[in-house]
Amino acid sequence: MTDTHGPGGPAAPANENDAASPDAAPEMVPAEQVKAALEAAADFKDKMLRALAEMENLRRRTEREVADARAYGISSFARDILGVADNMRRALDAGGTELRASGDPHVVALFEGVELTERELLKALEKNGVKRIEPLGEKFDPNIHQAMYEVLDPSVPAGTVAQVVQAGYLIGDRVLRPALVAVTKGGAPKAADAPANDKASSEP
């Protein structure tokens, strides 16, 4: 059989169209595919930004919750301790000045010991963010005070705290327990301020 390729010669392609043309143009991507790819990239970017925003919000919320836990985590315990502070104050008020003035060294030492213990307790509470409210003589504030009753006192403006029935406490910037107070309602109206009809009705 005769070798048509010649000795050692390369085999010629069966079809000239099978040979790749170096000048052939690359296949063009349809515009629809480009548009879909851009939309997919924009959607991915939007989802990524949303995820980053959610993570940032979560980080801030976690930091706020941790700070609140540190500041207000002892609220329940501190509220229970306030009963101890109240009893100490009642014991000191019940003694009055008579027992102290008696000159009995044992009685004086007892009261001084209770006072010292009360100061240490209040100092420990304040160290942990709990502060006592003593609003005597201040203007009534419904945010931190609770009015128990009114008293007539013409010497001070109406709405002044005239008596503290029970001390209040703050923890941080929140009310742990409002102060129970008595509030003045001002003095009686002056005679010159009485209604004219009342004056006329009193005349014969």
In this prediction, residue 112 has a pLDDT band, given cuts at 50, 70 and 90, of confident
- Better-predicted residue by pLDDT, 204 or 171: 171
- Measure the CA–CA gap between 152 and 163, rounded to whole angstroms: 12
pLDDT on residue 28: 59
Domains of the chain: 130-187 (2.30.22.10)
In this prediction, residue 32 has a pLDDT band, given cuts at 50, 70 and 90, of confident
Question: Which pair of structure tokens corresponds to residue 116?
Answer: 């010292």
* C-beta separation of 187 from 159 below 8 A: no
Strand order in the sheet with 145-151: 145-151, 179-184, 161-166
State the average pLDDT for the chain: 79
Burial class (CB in 10 A: 0-12, 13-18, 19+), 7: exposed
Model pLDDT for residues 122-172, shown as the tens digit of each residue: 999 999 889 999 899 999 999 999 999 999 888 888 999 999 999 999 998
Q: Would the pLDDT of 109 be above 60?
A: yes
Instruction: Tell me the CB-side half-sphere exposure of residue 181, using CA atoms within 13 A.
Output: 28
pLDDT on residue 1: 47
pLDDT on residue 27: 60
Q: Which residues contact 196 (CB under 8 A, 6 or more apart)?
A: none
pLDDT on residue 23: 53
- Measure the CA–CA gap between 186 and 180, rounded to whole angstroms: 19
Q: Where are the alpha helices (DSSP H) in the chain?
A: 31-72, 75-101, 105-127, 196-202
Evaluate if pTM is beyond 0.85: no
